[in-house]
Chains A and B, each alone.
Chain A
Amino acid sequence: MAGSQRTTVAGRLSRAADRFALPLAGAGTLAVLLAVFYYPVGTVFVEALGPENPVWGVLTSEFYMGAAHGVFAHPLRVPGDVAAWLADVRVAAGWTGLLPEVRVVHPGFRKGLFGFTAYQAALSTVASVALGLPGAYVLARFEFPGRRTLQSLTILPFVLPSIMVVVGFVATFGQFGTVNDVLASLGLGRVQFLYTLEVVVLAHAFYNAPLVTRMVTTAWENVDASAVETARSLGASPLRAFRDVVAPQLLPALAASALLTFVFTFMSFPIVLALGGLQLATVEVWLFARINQLDYATAAGLATLETLISLALTYVYLRYEGSQSAEGTANPLDRHRLFDAAGLREWLVRSGIAVYGLLVAVVFVAPLASMVLASVGGLEDPTLRWWQFLAERQAGGRTQPATAVRYSIQFGIAALVVALPMGVVVGAFSARGGHGRKVVDAVLMAPIAVSGIVVGFGLLRSLVFGVDVGSYRVSLVGPIVVVFAHAVAGYPFVVRNVAPMLSAVDSRLVESARALGASRGRALWDIELPLVWPGVLAGAAFAFAISIGEFDSTVILADGNVYTMPVALKRFLVDRAAGPSTGPAAAMGTVLLAVTAASFVVIDRVGGRYRP
């Protein structure tokens, strides 16, 4: 009697858990977002509503908006100005002997800070896609030894602190860098790469091409092989089958990664100035300078516009994503063996891959390798003193490398554990939510659309300083808050990896489960998650990567005794005992690289084995 009662209670409990799990997770997600994101960031954005009307001030400034400022400053003159500009455009048509040649000469116009920022972000996005897409092709369609490990390692560049990327790029692309040394030895002469827009774009591609590779690979692996086979059996050529069956399933992932790349590079800051110089300044440079100068109104004005642009793009993307529907599967395409080719076409494809491999070696491997090399003093002057330096700090310094590793991993795992349910819940909402969900969805993507500087500053002003509640001042700080801040920064990646796959899952499957009495949460767990597990896994890797690379909120929310690997690296960089050398930082960077590489492999292996 008692026993049966207990089962009834347990059964009721589990049914209740079933029914309320999803709403609870949703409410928890919102609570976390409100506490460590919307409220803190809101305290900064509210400055934009001040009496000075900083947003309008930015819009009407030629420096910020370039030629576009006229639209706001004196709209009536715009048609006349445009007409005058067009009147000065000269088009010359000629014949080169082989091809017709059309030259357009137009008077210059100022792009302004926003225009230039968008311009370099667009270039960076194109470069990242161009560099990342072939990687997805190779990883998704070919089999070779070490493929899975390589796939796990693709997002490594993502976690590297920008100063280390700069050091690596100077060593690789500088006047006396590896590439120029090779060019010189080939008798080709040295090329000035540094301090150009091109090298900034390349550095952005270094960071973001892996994102394209990883997200598209995941989508490619989820393509239903039987659909392709059906198309082929119906007489479609391989190209036609790719165009009609495969490409539509890759496009959402490609578009999502391109969007994320644009948004990231739009808010890029240290790397632009360190490799390009102030001549190539972006909006974020001014945002930082204004906050540093305590001019919060202008900073908030800039941040508002920056975020609006990012969110508007996100919204446009989400409309597009919603219009795409494709069938996902757990029946992936067979891979070709990379080192086994027959016929001219296959040989051509493989030589193309070899060229691509060379490019990857120069752009990705060389900067990373030169950092590792810098940690042992380079080839000419090899030394172990920077590693001894790390060992000394370990033995009793304020900043101990092993402690940094421990905190980094703890924060990374905890952030992943928090970000995954957040991302899946919001992803489910994004894929199957009701009316108006695209707007809400875009707003929920805000953590990637708000500048890190603004987030950090908002956290300081709200959570760290605290708010008055009656005669008490309540502040929220410490490692747990760091975890939530990291999770909030990382969860949009889970959403954008999971949502497109979730919307590809046949909704009839979910509906039948619901008709049979399963709660929405149960249907998500039992039916949908197993089908989109690769997306969840990719999202998990990104959430972990974001946490590992995060700097600002870690420093702001934790006290000086709690530090992660990037924080330790930064401290070693300015450590006077090592002089002006980047050696200790390079050694710490090498540790960071090794630890995160191992972590990514473990995440993929463990996650790959476990499928709900």
Chain B
Amino acid sequence: MKRRDYLRTVGVGVAGVAAAGCLQVENTGDGDATTSATGTESGTATRSGTTTKTTSADAGPLRVATYDSFFGDDGTAGQWLKDAWEADHDTTVEFTAPSNGVNEFVERKREGAAIDADLFVGINTGELVRVDDALADTALFDELAGEVAGSDTIKDDLRIDPEDRALPYDTGYISLVYDSTTVDEPQTFEALTSDEYEGALLAQNAQSSDPGRAFLLWTIHEYGPENYLDYWERLVGNDVRVLDDWQPSYDAFLNGERPMVVSYSTDQVYYNGEDQLPRHQVGFLNDQGYANPEAVARFADADNPDLAAEFVEFMLTDEAQRNVAVNNVQFPATTTAELPEEYGQYAYEPPEPVTFTYDELAGNVDAWTEAWARQVATN
């Protein structure tokens, strides 16, 4: 159904244009508008076992859409996965990072443009809810768990998708990071609203930042949808600042602007020098941390569905789990993987991880976030 034959025309009438610009013309055939979610490509998987190394019917390359920092150079999770995979397989892995993440594919699906990717790496629960909301009649992703050996090793409390399309491959925990030379550990949500912590906390805009949204959801988890706005009223009254993204808030924290910032529980992996540790303490409010699993999902329109499933299977092996977690500064998603000792020494897991399930977020997360943002931005 996705017959793609690009006629890269040599320019648009002007010779000079040909060199750099390109006008892509794609024959979409007649039935494109009715593209179904059943993964018709897999029906053509008849040429199996043509190579000695792979068992996949698909020729590749495997095209993986993800976010910008996941791949590219040595030391990224994506590069490790690519190198390890290609050492063992005949197919190659190609990463792309669309500027607006998974939304790009929602748009492509809506507009009938080609998906041009097999996997999406890095989707979280809220985004999956958004995708399903936006595409009620068609499916962007298809069911994956059944084709992936090892998907049963994923920790139960990280399973974000009741339909088994998105499989978590790692998780972070949102916590506070505080400078213990300036403030004591706040310990509870209530403490943050006390005089002691007035003007002490930097958070992020839940509309645009991952840790920001996770922190908001954490407060909703704690106070419930009825009362979280009251809590935030007190929090804002105590002069918490909600900046646009993690980077500026963390930069301000490093500059001593404020002694506490909403961040990740793996903070000390970067700051474990003797003089640094006191300034980089991880605080779990109410002994909790909000889990923010990152998942991988396969596009229903994937050209290489079998290869994609095989790659996800590889992502869930113990070795890949360990390396992805360390390179991504996160935690493994499976029960069987173990972290290197030195890394585990500085990466903390909360005594009680909490998170919202897909069903709890569905139909709610946008309204919760919007109501919260309107309350904070009282002009």
Residue in A closest to B212 when the chains form the complex, CB atoms: A278
What chain B residues lie within 8 Å of A110 (beta carbons)?
A: 378-379
Given A292-B207, A294-B130, A466-B113, A475 and B379 contact (CB-CB distance below 8 Å)? no
Q: Would you call B207 and A289 a contact (CB within 8 A)?
A: yes
Contact among B73, B103, B205, B369 with A393 in the assembled complex (CB-CB below 8 Å): B73
Q: Would you call A465 and B247 a contact (CB within 8 A)?
A: no
Give the CA-CA distance A586 to B65 in the complex, in Å. Answer: 28
Q: Would you call A580 and B22 a contact (CB within 8 A)?
A: no
Proximity bits, A564-603, B CB within 8 Å = 1, else 0: 0000001101111101101000000000000000000000
What chain A residues lie within 8 Å of B99 (beta carbons)?
A: 456, 552, 555-556
* Chain A interfacial residues counted at CB < 8 A: 75
Contact among B75, B112, B251, B329 with A170 in the assembled complex (CB-CB below 8 Å): B251
8 Å CB contacts to A: which residues of B236-265? 236, 241-245, 247-248, 250-252, 254-257
What chain B residues lie within 8 Å of A323 (beta carbons)?
A: none
8 Å CB contacts to A: which residues of B307-333? 327-329
Q: Would you call A270 and B244 a contact (CB within 8 A)?
A: yes
Q: Would you call B255 and A174 a contact (CB within 8 A)?
A: yes
Q: Which of A51-59, A478-486, A508-516, A541-549 contacts B (4 or more CB under 8 A)?
A: A478-486
Q: Would you call B108 and A465 a contact (CB within 8 A)?
A: yes
What chain B residues lie within 8 Å of A274 (beta carbons)?
A: 243-245, 248
Proximity bits, A263-307, B CB within 8 Å = 1, else 0: 000000110011101111100011011001111000000000000
Contact among B208, B241, B254, B255 with A289 in the assembled complex (CB-CB below 8 Å): B208
Residue in B closest to A481 when the chains form the complex, CB atoms: B21
Q: Would you call B20 and A278 a contact (CB within 8 A)?
A: no
Give the CA-CA distance A392 to B344 in the complex, in Å. Answer: 28
Residue in A closest to B106 when the chains form the complex, CB atoms: A294
Residue in A closest to B379 when the chains form the complex, CB atoms: A116
Give the CA-CA distance A474 to B114 in the complex, in Å. Answer: 12
A477 on interface, CB distance cutoff 8 Å:
yes
Q: Would you call B251 and A582 a contact (CB within 8 A)?
A: yes
Q: Would you call A281 and B252 a contact (CB within 8 A)?
A: no
Q: Would you call A479 and B20 a contact (CB within 8 A)?
A: yes
Given A279-B377, A398-B72, A471 and B257 contact (CB-CB distance below 8 Å)? no
CB distance from B250 to the nearest CB of A (A): 6
CB distance from A528 to the nearest CB of B (A): 28
Q: Would you call B27 and A171 a contact (CB within 8 A)?
A: no
B24 on interface, CB distance cutoff 8 Å:
yes
A468 on interface, CB distance cutoff 8 Å:
yes
Give the CA-CA distance A425 to B363 in the complex, in Å. Answer: 52
Given A270-B244, A398-B72, A576 and B328 contact (CB-CB distance below 8 Å)? yes
B69 on interface, CB distance cutoff 8 Å:
yes
A387 on interface, CB distance cutoff 8 Å:
no
8 Å CB contacts to B: which residues of A202-227? none
Q: Determine which residue in B24, B103, B254 has the highest number of CB atoms from chain A within 10 A of its CB, and name it.
A: B24
Proximity bits, A108-135, B CB within 8 Å = 1, else 0: 0011110110000000000000000000
Q: Would you call B30 and A278 a contact (CB within 8 A)?
A: no
Contact among B72, B113, B256, B328 with A174 in the assembled complex (CB-CB below 8 Å): B256
Q: Would you call B30 and A195 a contact (CB within 8 A)?
A: no
Q: Would you call B251 and A167 a contact (CB within 8 A)?
A: yes
What chain A residues lie within 8 Å of B370 (beta carbons)?
A: 289, 293
Contact among A113, A398, A468 with B379 in the assembled complex (CB-CB below 8 Å): A113
A-B CB contact pairs (8 Å), 26 listed: A115-B379, A167-B248, A170-B248, A170-B257, A195-B241, A278-B244, A278-B373, A285-B205, A295-B366, A398-B72, A399-B72, A457-B100, A460-B100, A460-B107, A466-B113, A472-B26, A473-B114, A475-B113, A477-B21, A480-B19, A555-B99, A559-B96, A571-B68, A575-B72, A576-B69, A580-B254
Q: Would you call B251 and A166 a contact (CB within 8 A)?
A: yes
CB distance from A187 to the nearest CB of B (A): 20
What chain B residues lie within 8 Å of A174 (beta carbons)?
A: 252, 255-257
Q: Would you call A474 and B73 a contact (CB within 8 A)?
A: no
B17 on interface, CB distance cutoff 8 Å:
yes
What chain B residues lie within 8 Å of A167 (beta carbons)?
A: 248, 251
Q: Determine which residue in A116, A166, A269 has the highest number of CB atoms from chain B within 10 A of its CB, and name it.
A: A166
